């Protein structure tokens, strides 16, 4: 990269020596090096030297136990044009439908109610409320994705959610009986502003449903590939309790769900005499015993990540012996982190397939693997497929039953590389 361009890219980074949740000084424990932006899929005509790379370093706040990145990349660069379309996963759409149906019943929602989703993507969730004749509003900063939602009839504001936007929505009469914030808190540099905004538009008796990948699953299952520049924070329940409390919100319930390799689902309401939920108290106690505030927990994780890199490379090289071929499934952000950190490119993997039409014809950042339609698995019948989107393993295995019937085999990379039999 030319030196002047490098300086320009670095100027788009904001270093964070203080915690995004409580402003305490943080301590780094794992550097993955300088990696390309995970969702910045590349036109194959772009020279490799022109790709931008940014530091990717995990830190721990010793005061509130929030794990987070040391730097922030300009959100406009990350999210104004986006290639992740949630609706390409039938399993995730079903997950959203089940939750919407549950909330309609539990909250007794109807035509006089309102549901707002922050980071609403292509309307994968709000479409289910709309089908039940419940008014909805989506907030989605990616303009191309917001347009997809509008085509479904979902009123969508193509802006970043913030304290100021929430104040404007509140003045315009947009108060929510249910706020959904799924896989978004991890993406925002201004945690206080977003949580304050949620409190500003939540109806007095409303509920905020928050989902976020769970830190304990990330550490225990060596899911380091879920670390990338879009994911600024990695949440346990412990730091979320005081974060929400500062804005008058209390966690009235918590559940563990299987999506994205293990996630938390929180139900937050306005504080006001609520006793602490038993499930919340139990999870906080488990996190203390696990070592959520102990620096040694994260040092052990960092050591395991460093040790993993040659293990995956050697495993794939062994598979290729004897002329065997390897492809990959899922041009995912986690795939970009895994491949770039481990140094796995076209010398090992021939191509990657994906269901999203927004990704086809591009190449994976850094490693330059071409992204092809999923039909190429049957057309080319590689011997092995590295499952980069391992969080959708069951769904993908079912979809690719014919590939497997012909002898193709899937390899899951983490927590240790292995061939999936079922």
- 327-339 pLDDT tens trace: 999 999 999 999 9
- Closest among 114, 142, 236 to 186, alpha carbons compared: 236
* In a domain? residue 410: yes
**Which tokens belong to 227?**
């670390």
Question: Quick one: DSSP state of residue 327?
Answer: E
Whether residue 65 contacts residue 238, with contact meaning beta carbons closer than 8 Å, is answered with yes
Q: What is the model's pLDDT at position 16?
A: 66
Phi, psi of 34 (to 5 degrees): -95, 115
Q: How many CB atoms lie within 10 A of CB 70?
A: 18
Separation between Cα atoms, residue 33 and residue 55, nearest integer Å: 6
Parallel, antiparallel or unpaired: strands 67-69 and 233-234: antiparallel
What pTM, to 2 d.p., does this model score? 0.89
Cα-based angle 83, 6, 388 (whole degrees, multiple of 5): 35
Q: Is residue 191 part of a domain?
A: no
2 pLDDT above the threshold of 70: no
Decide if 193 is inside a domain: no
Averaged pLDDT, 87-114: 92
* Host domain of residue 329: 310-420
Number of domains in the chain: 1
CATH number of the domain that residue 329 is part of: 3.40.50.720
Residue 167 lies in a domain: no
pLDDT-derived band at 15, boundaries 50, 70, 90: low
* Per-residue pLDDT at 32: 97
In a domain, 17, yes or no: no
Tokens of 7: 């300086």
- Residue 410 CA to residue 422 CA, distance in Å, equals 9
Q: What is the mean pLDDT of the chain?
A: 92
pLDDT of residue 98 exceeding 50:
yes
Whose tokens are 């295995």? That residue is: 397
């Amino acid at each position: 990269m030319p030196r002047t361009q490098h300086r320009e890219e670095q100027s788009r980074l904001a270093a964070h020596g203080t915690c995004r949740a409580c402003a305490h000084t943080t301590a780094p424990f794992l550097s993955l090096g300088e990696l390309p932006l995970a969702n910045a899929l590349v036109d194959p005509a772009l020279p490799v030297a022109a790709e931008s790379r940014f530091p990717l370093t995990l830190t721990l706040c010793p005061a509130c136990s929030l794990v987070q990145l040391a730097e922030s990349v300009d959100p406009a660069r990350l999210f104004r044009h986006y290639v992740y379309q949630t609706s390409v996963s039938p399993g995730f759409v079903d997950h959203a439908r089940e939750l919407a149906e549950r909330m309609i019943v539990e909250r007794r929602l109807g035509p006089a109610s309102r549901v707002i989703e922050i980071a609403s993507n292509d309307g994968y969730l709000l479409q289910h409320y709309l089908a039940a004749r419940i008014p909805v509003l989506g907030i989605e900063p990616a303009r191309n994705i917001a347009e997809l939602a509008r085509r479904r009839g979902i009123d969508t504001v193509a802006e970043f959610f913030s304290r100021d936007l929430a104040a404007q929505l509140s003045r315009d009469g947009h108060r929510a009986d249910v706020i959904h914030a799924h896989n978004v808190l991890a993406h925002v540099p201004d945690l206080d502003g977003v949580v304050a905004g949620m409190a500003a538009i939540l109806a007095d008796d409303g509920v905020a449903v928050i989902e976020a990948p769970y830190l304990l699953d990330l550490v225990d299952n060596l899911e380091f590939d879920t670390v990338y520049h879009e994911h600024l924070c990695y949440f346990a329940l412990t730091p979320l309790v005081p974060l929400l409390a500062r804005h008058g919100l209390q966690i009235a319930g918590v559940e563990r769900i299987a999506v994205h390799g293990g996630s938390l689902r929180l139900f937050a309401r306005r504080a006001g005499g609520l006793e602490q939920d038993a499930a919340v108290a139990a999870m906080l106690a488990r996190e203390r015993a696990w070592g959520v505030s102990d620096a040694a927990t994260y040092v052990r994780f960092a050591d395991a990540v460093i040790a993993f890199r040659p293990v995956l490379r050697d495993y794939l090289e062994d598979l290729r012996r004897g002329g065997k071929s390897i492809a990959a499934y899922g041009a995912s952000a986690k795939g970009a982190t895994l491949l770039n950190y481990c140094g796995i490119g076209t010398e090992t993997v021939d191509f990657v397939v994906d269901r999203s039409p927004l990704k086809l014809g591009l190449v994976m950042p850094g490693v330059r693997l071409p992204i092809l339609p999923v039909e190429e698995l049957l057309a080319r019948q590689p011997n092995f497929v590295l499952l980069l989107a391992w969080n959708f393993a069951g769904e993908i295995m079912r979809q690719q039953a014919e590939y497997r019937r012909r002898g193709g085999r899937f390899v899951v990379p983490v927590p240790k590389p292995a061939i999936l039999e079922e």
